[in-house]
């Protein structure tokens, strides 16, 4: 219990940790022993509990299942060389969940419940944070509407939950992707900057069409003209263009990625030239043809850095250069901070003591 937050804890009597085999691990399938749950009712958040991880009992009329009033977050806990457990910039995820909640008419979860609940949960499941390079405990906070009501209006009741699952490598190989010329992830005025469940469900169909043709992901373009690059699958996208670090600017169609922000901050700090500006498909194609695209990679919590090896632009496949000095040094710098090998001058590592 923290000083100000009251959490009821029911511990598991049968930990599943001994069943874990990191060698055969698949992302998002192996869940830690406990989960956090809080309820919103009568105009306030409360009833914060930690329980053994397990199924929920829900009415078939649960509002979130019908109208998508739900949003989520993704964070990672790491174990440092000295054994300490840290979470990467969770305050930023807390703020982003509050932003997503506001966009979806969900009462935001107070920081005290998000941060305090996270801490208590990780203290309890601390042993689940792997002690192996490249592995982490992926943390999934989420919010959903719980009114058993099929009328169309924001719910009066909600649940906030956090559970954790083991994570290793997300993409085993560099990506082959294509520019999406038709379908749209997000439109101006839409929910693209919120981590809304529907943004991901809506992406499945175009992604599956691309996958049938041998691509792993699509590169999303703007909804109006399909001319400007937006995101890479479920990640932000960063280019090294003519030696500069270039990425699409934040807007209501782009998720304010924590990894994106971390990479751009480190790039500026290293004296690299950073441009947050629209990048058109034409500019990208011209740069590839002129040999000026030095690198392209997706950045996100789950995948961290995902190099893009092949890019199809309107039917033409280009093999991209990778392993640029800039990308490699940014990746290394971030890894070094994450592992506690260099000073964390930004206070990005949130210790779970």
Binding site for ligand COI (CB under 6 A): 74, 200, 234, 300-303
The answer to whether 219 touches 239, Cβ cutoff 8 Å, is no
Q: For the range 201-209, what are the long-range contacts, defined as Cβ-Cβ under 8 Å and sequence gap of 24 or more?
A: 201/68, 203/233, 203/234, 206/180, 206/182, 207/233
Distance separating alpha carbons of residues 102 and 208, to the nearest angstrom: 30
Q: In angstroms, give the least distance from the CB of 336 to ligand COI.
A: 21
Distance separating alpha carbons of residues 210 and 156, to the nearest angstrom: 39
Q: In angstroms, give the least distance from the CB of 234 to ligand COI.
A: 4
Q: In angstroms, give the least distance from the CB of 290 to ligand COI.
A: 32
DSSP bridge partners of 148:
62
Where would I find the H helices in 19-89?
Answer: 63-67
C-beta closer to ligand COI: residue 205 or 314? 205
C-beta closer to ligand COI: residue 141 or 294? 141
C-beta closer to ligand COI: residue 27 or 67? 27
Q: In angstroms, give the least distance from the CB of 303 to ligand COI.
A: 6
Closest CA to 73 of 141, 9, 137: 141
Q: In angstroms, give the least distance from the CB of 256 to ligand COI.
A: 12
C-beta closer to ligand COI: residue 74 or 307? 74
C-beta closer to ligand COI: residue 183 or 200? 200
Distance separating alpha carbons of residues 142 and 163, to the nearest angstrom: 9
In terms of Cβ atoms closer than 10 Å to its own Cβ (0-12, 13-18, 19+), residue 12 is middle
């Amino acid at each position: 219990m923290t000083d100000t937050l009251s959490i009821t804890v029911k511990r598991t009597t049968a930990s599943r940790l001994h069943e874990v085999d990191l060698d055969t691990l698949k992302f998002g399938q192996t869940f830690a022993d406990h989960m956090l749950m809080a309820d919103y009712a009568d105009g306030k958040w409360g009833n914060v509990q930690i329980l053994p991880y397990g199924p929920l009992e829900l009415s078939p009329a649960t509002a979130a299942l019908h109208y998508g009033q739900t949003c989520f977050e993704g964070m990672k806990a790491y174990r440092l060389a000295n054994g300490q457990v840290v979470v990467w910039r969770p305050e930023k995820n807390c703020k982003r969940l509050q932003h997503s909640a506001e966009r979806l008419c969900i009462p935001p979860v107070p920081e005290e419940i998000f941060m305090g609940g996270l801490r208590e949960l990780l203290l309890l499941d601390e042993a689940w944070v792997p002690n192996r390079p490249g592995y982490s405990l992926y943390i999934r906070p989420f919010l959903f509407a719980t009114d058993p009501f099929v009328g169309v209006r924001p719910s009066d009741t909600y649940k906030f939950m956090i559970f954790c699952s083991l994570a290793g490598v997300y993409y085993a190989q560099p990506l082959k992707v294509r520019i999406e010329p038709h379908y749209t992830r997000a439109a101006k005025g839409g929910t693209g900057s919120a981590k809304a469940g529907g943004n991901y469900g809506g992406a499945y169909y175009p992604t599956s069409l691309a996958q049938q043709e041998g691509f792993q992901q699509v590169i999303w373009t703007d909804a109006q003209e399909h001319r400007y690059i937006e995101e890479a699958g479920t990640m932000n996208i960063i280019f090294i263009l003519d030696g500069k670090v270039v990425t699409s600017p934040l807007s209501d169609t782009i998720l304010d990625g924590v990894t994106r922000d971390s990479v751009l901050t480190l790039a500026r700090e290293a004296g690299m030239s950073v441009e947050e500006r629209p990048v058109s498909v034409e500019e990208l194609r011209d740069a590839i043809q002129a040999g000026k695209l030095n690198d392209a990679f997706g950045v996100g919590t789950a995948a961290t850095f995902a190099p893009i090896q092949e890019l199809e632009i309107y039917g033409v496949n280009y093999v991209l250069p990778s392993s640029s000095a800039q990308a490699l040094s940014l990746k290394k710098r971030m890894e070094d901070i994450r592992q506690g090998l260099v000073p964390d001058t930004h206070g990005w590592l949130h210790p779970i003591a």
